[in-house]
Chains A and B, each alone.
Chain A
Amino acid sequence: MPNKPPIVEIKNLYKSYRRGNQTIPVLQDINLDIAEGEFLALMGPSGSGKSTLLNLIAGIDKADSGMIKVVDVDINSLSETDLARWRSGNVGFVFQFYNLIPVLTAFENVELPLLLTGLSRKEKREHVETALKIVNLSDRMEHYPGQLSGGQQQRVAIARAIVTDPTIIVADEPTGDLDRVSAEDILELMERLVHELCKTIIMVTHDPRAAKKAHIIKQLDKGVLNANPQTYI
Chain B
Amino acid sequence: MQILKLIFRNAFRHKLRTFLTVAGISIAILSFGLLRTVISAWYVGVEASAANRLVTRNSISIIFPLPLSYKDKVRQIDGVKTVSYGNWFGGIYIDEKNFFANFAVEPESYLELYPEYVLQPDQKAAFLRDRKAFFAGRKLAERYNWKLGDTVILKGTIFPGDWDFVLRAIYKGRDKNIDETQFIFHWDYLNESLKKTVPRRADQVGFYMIGVKNPVHAAEVSAAIDRTFKNSLAETLTETEKAFQLGFISMSEAIVIAIQMVSFVVIIIIMAVAANTMAMTARERFGEYAVLKTLGFGGPYIIGLIFGESLFITSIGCILGIVLTFPAAHAFGSAMSQFFPVFNVSVKTIYLEIGSSVIVGITAAIIPSYRAVTLRIADGLRRIG
Are A and B co-members of a single complex?
yes
| Chain A residues in the interface with B (C-beta under 8 A) | 51-52, 55, 58, 60-61, 81, 84-85, 87-89, 93, 95-97, 99, 101-104, 108, 111-113, 115-116, 177
* Chain A residues near B293 (CB-CB < 8 A): 60, 84
Closest partner residue, chain A, to B13 (CB atom): A103
CA distance A229 to B371 in the complex (A): 41
A77 to chain B, nearest CB (A): 18
- In the complex, per-residue mask of B260-294: 1 if CB is within 8 Å of any chain A CB, else 0: 00000000000000000000000000011001111
Contact of B295 among A52, A96, A103, A112 (CB under 8 A): A112
* Chain B residues near A104 (CB-CB < 8 A): 6, 9
Contact of A96 among B10, B292, B385 (CB under 8 A): B385
Let me know if B149 is at the binding interface, CB within 8 A: no
- In the complex, per-residue mask of B6-33: 1 if CB is within 8 Å of any chain A CB, else 0: 1001100100000000000000000000
CA distance A107 to B376 in the complex (A): 27
| Chain B residues in the interface with A (C-beta under 8 A) | 2, 5-6, 9-10, 13, 287-288, 291-298, 376-378, 381, 384-385
Contact A88 B295 (CB under 8 A): yes
* Chain B residues near A51 (CB-CB < 8 A): 378
Given known contacts A103-B10, A104-B9, A97 and B294 CB-to-CB distance under 8 angstroms: no
Contact A84 B6 (CB under 8 A): no
A167 to chain B, nearest CB (A): 14
Contact of A116 among B10, B288, B297, B385 (CB under 8 A): B297
Contact B13 A97 (CB under 8 A): no
Contact A84 B385 (CB under 8 A): no
Contact A101 B6 (CB under 8 A): yes
Given known contacts A60-B378, A61-B378, A96-B385, A101 and B288 CB-to-CB distance under 8 angstroms: yes
A111 to chain B, nearest CB (A): 8
Contact of A113 among B296, B376, B384 (CB under 8 A): B296
Contact B377 A93 (CB under 8 A): no
* Chain A residues near B298 (CB-CB < 8 A): 81, 84
Contact of A101 among B291, B294, B381, B384 (CB under 8 A): B291
Contact B2 A103 (CB under 8 A): no
* Chain B residues near A61 (CB-CB < 8 A): 376-378
Contact A99 B297 (CB under 8 A): no
Closest partner residue, chain B, to A170 (CB atom): B294
CA distance A113 to B10 in the complex (A): 19
Given known contacts A99-B384, A101-B291, A84 and B296 CB-to-CB distance under 8 angstroms: yes
Contact B6 A113 (CB under 8 A): no
* Chain B residues near A112 (CB-CB < 8 A): 292, 295
Contact A95 B288 (CB under 8 A): no
Contact A85 B296 (CB under 8 A): yes
List 5 additional contacts besides A85-B296, A116-B297; criterion CB under 8 Å: A60-B378, A60-B381, A61-B378, A84-B297, A103-B6
